[in-house]
Structure formats: structure tokens, C-alpha cells
Structure 1
Amino acid sequence: MTKPAASPRRTPLGSRRPEWAGRNYVLLTAATIVTNLGAHGALIATTWAVFETGGSAGDVGLVAMARFLPLVLFLLIGGAVADRIPRHRVMVAANALNCVSQAVFAVLVLSGEARIWQMMVLTALCGTGQAFFNPAAEGMLMSSVSGEQAGRAFAVYRMAMHGAGIGGAALGGALVAFVGPGWVLAIDALAFAVAGGLRAFLDLSGTPERAPGGGLFADLREGWQEFIGRPWLWSIVAQFSVVVGLIGAVESVFGPLVARDQLGGARPWGIALAAYGVGTVAGAVLMTRWKPRRMLFVGTLCVFPIALPSAALAVPLDAVGLTIAMFVSGVAIEVFGVSWMTTMHQEIPEEKLSRVSAYDWFGSTALLPLTTALAGPAESAFGRNEALWGAAALMVLVTALVLLVPDVRNMTRRPHTKAVAGGPPASTAADVSVDASADASTAGSADAEGTLRRNG
């Protein structure tokens, strides 16, 4: 028997917190701000730690591959685990692993004893933690907001996340230049410890009980059926497998190399990454007000500008031109990201969020180990500029192809109701489709963004 809908919760007099921002939402947002402050600086620090040991472009690619490979290998298991046990426990355990691995990494770099193989092992541990964290975090976030206000909640969340990324990238680039990469890695370890403490206080009392399942493999099979039955979902994930792989190579290998050889070092690259963050904040601000009716169509159109940074590095533009390209790319990807998250919240059942998210993350990151490992050899074989132009052209091509899928063009926003854990009651608006083309057989989604900003 269905329980009567709870009356809307009133915002206390004088409270500045919106009605849709429940306790879990606030804790998740705060923890993400902390980790992004550390993580964006750590990305720069890792690359320069390799350079300080005399490493080459190929070594940078190997260290990046070591992080991405376990991320790909363990994502599906992480998604199934997060749908079987309390998600906040998975998140805290993953943060603890990341904290320890980054702390050891920092000690080795500060002592001057770091070796490439050690960096690969430690970044692999960090990638393993992320493989379990990402699906759990995505499912937790989706269940923490009400359906009617989901788009605005996700935009504000991402605004906070990327705002922290701005500070983290700028501060990280400056600290790498002035005090060295080791201290930046130590700050990242501390950030994981603080964020894990915040996530330990998440409230799962309102989460619907999980029905007994048939085991891990049965859960994975059920998640696969949810994923593969929707052409728009798997086609966009396939698109992002290419896009994310190419951007991973550009940001992990080519961007730092161009910055080192032609832009003056770590600081201009840190500013460019910060400009990307400013763009994502601007895009999130836009999406707090703009609710495009054809969410996926508008979002996919905004993937085209993601190729701009690769083209800017290929020219190459000066630091100002690269910064502008990164800003525009940030605005565009944020429009896609909010649209994608809103679609996921609208379509995927709460008890399957983490598994579907895991298939999304798996597909979207599947090529990262390969592309980052091959970035150095590609530079040697074709030349750096040619490799960057090829990356930009491939991003444009796969984005154009995904627009041929009817559901991508026709999926529409509709009033939606979804249960909320640790937050305000869901809206009582009727779940009525406003477009016959978005039938029940094409429900589903997961956040491919991360696309790249995997918010540990």
C-alpha cells in the first residue's frame, strides 16, 4: 500500500539553506569542495614529480595509465557493491585508501627517493579507491535531492565542486612552482582525510531497503540490462569513451609538455586549468536558471567545444589564448553535465543508480589507460601538433555521430517524483511524460562527465 505523500517541509525562518538542500546534500557538497581543492593541485603535482625524477613524456603517460587502469577494472564491481551495502561506507573506505596512498606518495617525493615504479603503484591504489568511490558517490548524490528541483541542485553542487577546482588548480600550480610537488600531494592526502570524516556523517535512514539479490554477478547482469536497453545511453557513453580518453591524454601528457616547453612552466598550465574551472562555474550558474526541454540534444551540442583546448595546444596559442579555450570548454561541458545528471535522476530507479553509473563510468573511462600510455609514442611517431589535431578531429567526429541517434535528439524533460534519502520529501508532481517519443523503454542514464572532473 502506498503511503500518502508527506507535506512539503518548510524552510525554517531565517535559514539561508534552500528547501531542497537536505543534510546529506550539504555534507556531500562540503566534502566534494574539500577533495577538489586538493585533487586539482595533485594532478599538476604528479606530473611535475615525474619531471623532477628526470622522467619523459612516456613516463608521465605510464603513471597516468597506472591510475586509470584499476579505475576501469574495478568500476563495475564498485557499482554493484555500492548498490548492496550502505554507500557512505564505500565512500569513506575509498577516501581512506586515497588518503594513505597520497600521503606515502608525498613522503617519497619530499625525501627525493621517489621512483617511477613507486609512483605507478601509489597512483594505482588511488585509482582503485576511485573505482569504488565514484558509483557510490553518484548514487548517493542522486538520492539526496527531490526530483522537481534536481536540475538546480545538481547545478549548485557542480558550481561548488568546480569553484573549489579553480582554487585548487591555481593554488596547486603556484605551490608546485614555489615549494615543490611533494607538499601539494601532502595537502591532497589531508583533504581526503577531512572529506572522509564528513562523509561518515551521511544519513541513510531514509534510503529504501534493498530487495535481496541473487549475488554480485546477478546484480551486474541486471545493471547491464538497464544500460544496454537504451540506445541514447550507451551511444553517449561510447562517445565519451573516445572523448574522455583523448582529453585524458591531452591533460595528463600533452598539456603539461606544451606548458613546459612553450608557455613557461607549471604556472600557466595551472591558470589554464583554473580557467576551465571558472568556465564550469559559469556554466553551472547558467544551468540554475536554464532548463532546456530537449536536455540531451542541447547537452550533446555543447560537447563540440570540448575540442577547443586540443586545437589551442596544437597551434599553439599563447597562454591567454589557451586560457580562453579552456574557459569556453568549461562552460560547454557544464551544460552537458547538468543535463546528463538531470536525465539520470529522472529515469534511473534509485536502487540501480550505482550499477548503471558504474557501467557509464566504465565505458567512459575504458580507453584512458590506452590513450595515456600511447600519448608519448604518438608524439614520437606523428609529432605533438599532429597528435593534438587528430585528437580534436576525433572528438568532433564522434559527437556528430551520436546526434544521429533519435533518442538523443528527442529525449525531453518531464515532471518527476523520486524518493529522497537524508533530505526533504520528494515533490508530489505527477510523473507524466511531455513527449511521446520518450517512452518507458528509453528510460535511464548515468553521469558520464564526471566527465572528467572525477570528484573524489
Structure 2
Amino acid sequence: MSSPRSDLLRDRPFALLLTARTLSMLALAFAPVALAFGVLDLPGASATTLSTVLAAESIALVLFTLVGGVVADRYPREQVLRAAEWANAVLHIVIGALLLSGHAPVWGLVTLTFLAGTAGALVWPAMTGIVPQVVPAHSLQDGNALIGIGGNTARVAGLVAGGIVVVAIGGGWALIAAGVIFAVAGLCVGRLRLTRPPQDDVPGPGMLRELRVGWSEFRSRTWLWVCVLQFSAFVMVWQAAHLVLGPVVAKTALGGPGAWSTILTVESCGLILGGLVAMRWRPAYPVRAVVLLSFLGAPPYLLLGLHAPLVAIAVASFFLGFAFEMLSIFWQTTMQREIPAESLSRVSSYDALGSLALGPLGIILAGPAADAVGAQRVLLVCAAVMLVASVSSLSVPSIRSLRARPDVQSLPPAPDSPADLGPAITLPQ
């Protein structure tokens, strides 16, 4: 008898979704090291320069995430994902070409990363909403875990290859390679066709009305918005530490891009193990587990701030990856089970908006703060904020008490369910 996971892997729509997501993660893995050190290698660049470039992408994500949620609930999600993949392909190739020219104006990089953030704002809501369209209800956690494992395995390969390319010939070529991979992912998405439910032949509600419905679903669940507040603070300092301060410390104290690539690669190995464990562990209180796992976010940045050796930082980063992949899977699965399917992408967009809202502030402040008082001291503050945010969230009763819905029994899917349409159905970040 075949297992539910092997059945998923043989299902054509899920295989397309998994392939596209894996390719996207491979492309994205090239970007952090390539862009960070590509910018820092520009004439006259500083930590503030890097903050400015990265903040543009984060600001775009915040500005357009709600729009992405409405778009993903209104239009076929596979088409939304395909458009985002191809936009990322073009933008990464252009950024790489600019860095290779050696004359990349900061305003040009800011514009391009802002556009990349706009494309990214479409991805998360669409991806969260499309998984339940492809995966049977009783296999949601397995489906999320398999997608995570595929993506994180690609992430490890991409970080290793990206680090080698950056050290050998610079970040520009790594970004161009990422663009090509995004284009292939877009082709995979283009082959996915999902059956949409019948639509009434009347105009749908306006965007503001749709946003109000999504907001009502979001704010009615205390466990949801409290965790989003926690991760708003969490992401603010994580983006500062992971995108700006970490590379700065790696360049000045750990030996450069090779060291930072090592840290990111080890972290990604933890992500893979976290995905494997999440396929087995079904916590009875999933949101409580999410918050408890978030405590493992602080140690890597605490160690970076304390001038710890590379090995210690890498070990802490492994456990960060291990914890964050599990909490991400538990969180997505809980949302997919608790939120009505017709508003899932909009609620997910509020989740993403709230979580990312303070990210630009963290990135903008990180560079000047590092230039003023030193990156290590700022990293210690980042670690402290993470711990305080996790403790505060855990004190809320509904977070500790929300029980997991029991899995739907493994019955054969109904004839019109997505899982049964595999051969007839002529997939992302």
C-alpha cells in the first residue's frame, strides 16, 4: 500500500507546484549573498548603502501585500504565481548586469529591488491559498512539509553554489543565474491549470470591500493577530540582523562572504531537518509550539554580537533553521485549516503585512546604527527584542490553548476534488 506522501508526489498538480517552489528557492538562495556582497563591493559602499537597497524591497512588500491577497483570491492563483516568477527573472538579470558593469547607481538598484518586492508581495498570499487547492485536506501538513523540504534542499544547493560563484567571479553572475532559474520556474507554473469554482455572472465586490471581509476574518482570531504582532517585532530585528548586520560582521570579523555563506548553508540544513520532523510531529497545540520554537531565533545573533567563533554561530544557526521550518509549517497548516478557503489569501496577506510591517524600519536603522555604535552591539539588541517578543506572545491564553483540528480521515477524494483531477489538469515562492 502506498503512503499518503508518495501519493502526493505522484499527483501531477502537486508535482508541478513542488517543482516550481523548489526552483524558486534555488533562485532565491543565490540572492542574499550575491546582492549583499555585490553592493558592499561597489565603490564607496557602506552598511548604510546596503540598508538603503534592501529596504526598498521590504517597503514594497509592505505596501503591496494586501493588494497581493486580493489579487490571489480574485484571479487564478497559478497565473498570479507565474507572473511573479517571470517578473523576478527579469529583475534579477538586470540587477546582476548592473553589478557586473561596476557602475550600478544606488537609485537604480533601489528601483529594481522595489519592483522585486512588488512581485514578491503577490507570492506569499497566492502560495498559501493554492496549497489547499492541490493537496487533500488530510494531507495538508505533509504537503506543506514536502514543499518546504524541496525548497530548503534547493536552498542549501543554491547557497553553496552562490557562495562559490560570488567568491570566484562576483555577485552579478550569481544574480543572473538566479534570474534564469526564476524563468524556468515560471514555465513550470504555466503548465498548472486548476479548476476554479463556478463564478456568478455579476461583478464581484470592490477591493476595499474584499479587504474589509479579510480584515474581519483576521481580527476575529486573537491567536492570529497576537502572533502577527510578535513577528512584526521579530521580523524587524531579524531583517536588520540577517540582511545587514550579519554580512557586515562576516566581512569585518569572520573572513567575508565565504563565512556568511557557510552560516546560511548550515541554517538551511536545519530547515531540511525541521521539515522532516514536521512530517512526523503533530503537536496538539500548534500555535503554542510555534511560539516556543521562536525562542531559538535569538541565539545566532547573540553569538554574533558576542564575537563567538564561526562554529558556534553556525550551530546556533542550524537550530534556528530547524525551529523556523517547523513553526512555519505548523503556522501555515493551522491557517489553512482555520480560515475559510475563499478568504484565505486575503487573511494570509494581513498576516504577511503585519509580520513585515516593521521590516523596512529595521533595515533602514541597521546600517546607520552599525556605523555609529558597531554592528555587534546592535546585534545584542536584536537578540533581546526577539526574546521579549516571544515571552509576551506566550502569555496570551488563546495561543496556549488552541487545539489542532483532527486530520480528515484518509478517504478517497471526491470525484471533483483537485487531487482526483491529476491527469486531466492540463506552481513558487
**Superposition TM-score tier, normalisation by shorter sequence:** over 0.9
1:84 maps to which of 69, 74, 85:
74
Q: Decide which moves more: 59-68 or 139-148.
A: 139-148
2:332 maps to which of 323, 336, 341:
341
Which residue of 2 is the match for residue 162 of structure 1? 152
Tell me, which stretches of 5 or more residues in structure 1 are unaligned? 1-9, 426-454
1:33 maps to which of 22, 27, 33:
22
Q: Decide which moves more: 147-156 or 284-293.
A: 147-156
Q: Are residues 398 and 421 of structure 1, via their aligned partners in 2, closer, same or farther at CA, if it must alter by over 3 Å?
A: farther
Q: Decide which moves more: 208-217 or 175-184.
A: 208-217
1:249 maps to which of 233, 236, 240:
240
Identity %: 36
Which residue of 2 is the match for residue 385 of structure 1? 376
The amino acid that maps onto 2:296 is P
Q: Decide which moves more: 315-324 or 63-72.
A: 315-324
Task: Please state how far the C-alpha of 1:214 moved relative to its aligned partner.
Answer: 1.4
Q: Are residues 123 and 106 of structure 1, via their aligned partners in 2, closer, same or farther at CA, if it must alter by over 3 Å?
A: same
Q: Are residues 310 and 352 of structure 1, via their aligned partners in 2, closer, same or farther at CA, if it must alter by over 3 Å?
A: same
Q: Deviations over 1:235-286 (max 9, x none)?
A: 0011111111211111111111111011111011111101111001111111
Which residue of 2 is the match for residue 221 of structure 1? 212
Q: Deviations over 1:139-173 (max 9, x none)?
A: 11232211212112211211111111111112111
1:371 maps to which of 351, 355, 362:
362
Matches of 2:187 and 2:243, distance apart in 1: 29
Matches of 1:424 and 1:338, distance apart in 2: 24
Number of matched pairs: 415
Q: Deviations over 1:307-347 (max 9, x none)?
A: 11111110121211111010011111122111111101211
| Residues 8 and 135 in structure 2, CA contact (< 8 A), matched pair in contact too | no
| 3-state SS in 1 of match to 2:137 | coil
Normalised TM-score (structure 1): 0.87
| Residues 47 and 371 in structure 2, CA contact (< 8 A), matched pair in contact too | no
Matches of 1:93 and 1:16, distance apart in 2: 29
Is residue 2:199 matched to residue 1:203? no
Which residue of 2 is the match for residue 47 of structure 1? 36
Matches of 2:417 and 2:243, distance apart in 1: 37
| Residues 155 and 287 in structure 1, CA contact (< 8 A), matched pair in contact too | yes
Q: Are residues 222 and 210 of structure 1, via their aligned partners in 2, closer, same or farther at CA, if it must alter by over 3 Å?
A: farther
Is residue 2:341 matched to residue 1:350? yes
The amino acid that maps onto 1:146 is P
Which residue of 1 is the match for residue 291 of structure 2? 300
| 3-state SS in 1 of match to 2:418 | coil
Which residue of 1 is the match for residue 425 of structure 2? none
Q: Deviations over 1:80-120 (max 9, x none)?
A: 01111111111111112111111111111122221211111
Q: CA RMSD in A?
A: 2.0
Matches of 2:5 and 2:348, distance apart in 1: 32
Which residue of 1 is the match for residue 424 of structure 2? none
| Residues 20 and 153 in structure 1, CA contact (< 8 A), matched pair in contact too | no
Normalised TM-score (structure 2): 0.92
Matches of 1:209 and 1:325, distance apart in 2: 49
Which residue of 1 is the match for residue 61 of structure 2? 71
| Residues 22 and 422 in structure 1, CA contact (< 8 A), matched pair in contact too | no
Is residue 2:276 matched to residue 1:282? no
Which residue of 1 is the match for residue 114 of structure 2? 124
Task: Please state how far the C-alpha of 1:393 moved relative to its aligned partner.
Answer: 0.6
1:172 maps to which of 157, 162, 168:
162
| 3-state SS in 1 of match to 2:74 | coil
